Amino acid sequence: MNQERATIDQLFQQEFSKMVAVISRQFGLEHIETAEDIVGDTFLTAAENWAEKGIPENPAAWLYVVAKQKTLAMFRRGTTWKEKVLPAVKAGLETEEPETDLDFSAQNIQDSQLRMIFAICNPAIASESQIGLALRILCGFGIDEIAAAFLTNKETINKRLFRAKEKLRTENIRMELPPEHLLDARLDNVLHIIYLLFNEGYYSRTQDTILQKDLCLEAMRLGLLLTAFPVTAQPRTFALIALMCFHASRFEARESAADTLVLYDEQDENLWDRELVQQGMHFLGLSATGSMLSSYHLEARIAFLHCRKEDTPEKWLEILAMYNELLIINYSPSAALNRTFALYKAHGADIALAEAEKLQLTENHFYWMLLGELTRHSHPAKAAAHYQQAYDLAKTAAEKEGILRVQRSLHLG
């Protein structure tokens, strides 16, 4: 029984997005909710049937057959479908008989998912809703899990998804690839959403580490999906995947038994995932074509350098150079703080402190941690005050615990 449950959960995660994409492509994005219902219903039937008869040999194929039947039944029965969908389908296909047979070939699944990615990562929808919708429709996450990832309740997520789906309808967003002249800009948006999705997992607000990993893995899966198509397999796509591989390689090392965030310097490098580092290097190589240097290229290069544990001044000079370039094309507070940390490692605390004080990111607890680090040897009393500021601003228990640990190690004379 438990094994069936686990299999169904796993299948749901794998197959939900594929089936919804194929059905939505066939009948139009305005029927995405019906598509979700059909797939949800298919899984209910599977749960009942498999509990009795056991799991079939090819569960995915079984699911596709049942989903086809249910779609067909919906067609024949539903008056809404007869009145609204059929004319639309007929008009679109210009055939007498509506196409009701769903194509669950690997090729069509992949094509449909790619179109779905572009439909959901549409700038007409608020970025937060894009992530929510991506988690639901592209990754098959439950409302509970999405709420946990955003540290909010189910009601908020449901509202957000409802509004996003309404937007799909009112903006008349189609399951198509954008026209060629818009493709570049729209791909940027898709990559940005995947990047945010990954960060949502990697720097998660939730304490649920399984959920954190799932978020990261799904972001990577979506990135890899883009590599299957020439129009989306761009150097910056590879750079983003490389970046995610390098970060993900340190996932295990970041966690310690006490559930506190392990600072980079304390990480056990034996826990780094060498295979992911290798993968990252492979994709970094593929990203090194063309003339466009995206922020993903720079971030991937920085993450790669961090995968080398030895602490040489050359390494930090290169990291500093990358952060300078990154900030020149794309400012973010975290890049500004990291740049100053690299400056410290490359040129010492005095130079870095003067630059750090100019940042004035006084609402950011990492800013105060940086000031603490830069003053801990020269002015331990000042450092203690900085860490206190950081402690007061930190939001999670794990962060507060980490700051306390650093603060306790100060040598107050």
Partner 1 sequence: MKDFALLFRQPSYDYQQLPEAEQAVLIKKWQDWLGGIAAQGKLVSPPTRLIPNQGRVLKPGGVVTDGPFVEIRERLGGLTVIRAADLDEATTLAHGCPAIEVGGSVEIRPVMG
Determine which residue in the list 55, 173, 305, 321 makes contact with partner 1, applying CB under 8 A.
321
Determine which residue in the list 55, 327, 384, 385 makes contact with partner 1, applying CB under 8 A.
327
Q: Which is nearer to partner 1, 103 or 355 (CB)?
A: 355
Determine which residue in the list 27, 251, 316, 323 makes contact with partner 1, applying CB under 8 A.
323
Nearest distance from C-beta of residue 341 to partner 1, angstroms = 11
- When asked if residue 339 is in the footprint of partner 1 (CB under 8 A), the reply is yes
- When asked if residue 363 is in the footprint of partner 1 (CB under 8 A), the reply is no
Contacts of partner 1 in 219-238 (CB under 8 A)? none
Nearest distance from C-beta of residue 327 to partner 1, angstroms = 4
- When asked if residue 324 is in the footprint of partner 1 (CB under 8 A), the reply is yes
Three state DSSP letters for the chain: CHHHHHHHHHHHHHHHHHHHHHHHHHHCHHHHHHHHHHHHHHHHHHHHHHHHHCCCCCHHHHHHHHHHHHHHHHHHHCHHHHHHHHHHHHHHHCCCCCCCCCCCCHHHHHHHHHHHHHHHCCCCCCHHHHHHHHHHHHCCCCHHHHHHHCCCCHHHHHHHHHHHHHHHHHCCCCCCCCCHHHHHHHHHHHHHHHHHHHHHHHCCCCCCHHHHHHHHHHHHHHHHHHCCCCCCCCHHHHHHHHHHHHHHCCHHHHECCCCCECCHHHCCHHHCCHHHHHHHHHHHHHHCCCCCCCHHHHHHHHHHHHCCCCCCHHHHHHHHHHHHHHHHHCCCHHHHHHHHHHHHHHHCHHHHHHHHHHHCCCCCHHHHHHHHHHHCCCCHHHHHHHHHHHHHHCCCHHHHHHHHHHHHCCCCC
**Binding marks (x or -) toward partner 1, 298..317, rule CB under 8 A?**
-------------------x
- The interface region with partner 1, picked from 15-23, 80-88, 351-359, 373-381 by CB under 8 A, is 351-359
Q: Which is nearer to partner 1, 12 or 366 (CB)?
A: 366
Determine which residue in the list 79, 291, 360, 409 makes contact with partner 1, applying CB under 8 A.
360
Compute how many residues bind partner 1; rule: CB under 8 A.
20
- When asked if residue 336 is in the footprint of partner 1 (CB under 8 A), the reply is yes
Nearest distance from C-beta of residue 346 to partner 1, angstroms = 10
- When asked if residue 318 is in the footprint of partner 1 (CB under 8 A), the reply is no
Q: Which is nearer to partner 1, 260 or 338 (CB)?
A: 338
- When asked if residue 359 is in the footprint of partner 1 (CB under 8 A), the reply is yes
Determine which residue in the list 53, 76, 181, 358 makes contact with partner 1, applying CB under 8 A.
358
- When asked if residue 331 is in the footprint of partner 1 (CB under 8 A), the reply is yes
- When asked if residue 86 is in the footprint of partner 1 (CB under 8 A), the reply is no
- When asked if residue 249 is in the footprint of partner 1 (CB under 8 A), the reply is no
Q: Using CB under 8 A as the criterion, which residues of the chain lie in contact with partner 1 when the complex forms?
A: 317, 320-321, 323-325, 327-329, 331, 333, 335-336, 339-340, 343, 355, 358-360
